[in-house]
């Protein structure tokens, strides 16, 4: 049973790493998108006011 436990620990650790890198990539993308939207709103804002 010891071998199975080691494999499970490795699998869980890999899953956590993948989720973490995926989440950080998503937050980077979201930050980039919100910055782009802010710039876009500043560009089109004066035309409407």
* Residue 10 three-state SS: helix
Distance CA 1, CA 19 (A): 27
Q: With 0.85 as the threshold, say if the pTM is over it.
A: no
pLDDT of 48 reads 61
pLDDT band, very low/low/confident/very high, at 47 (cuts 50, 70, 90): low
Q: What is the pLDDT of residues 2-45, one digit of tens each?
A: 788 999 999 999 999 999 989 989 999 999 999 998 888 887 76
Dihedral (CA of 18, 21, 27, 32) sign: negative
């Amino acid at each position: 049973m010891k071998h199975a436990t080691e494999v499970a620990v490795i699998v869980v650790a890999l899953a956590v790493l993948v989720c973490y890198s995926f989440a950080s990539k998503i937050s980077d993308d979201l930050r980039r998108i919100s910055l782009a939207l802010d710039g876009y709103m500043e560009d089109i804002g004066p035309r409407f006011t």
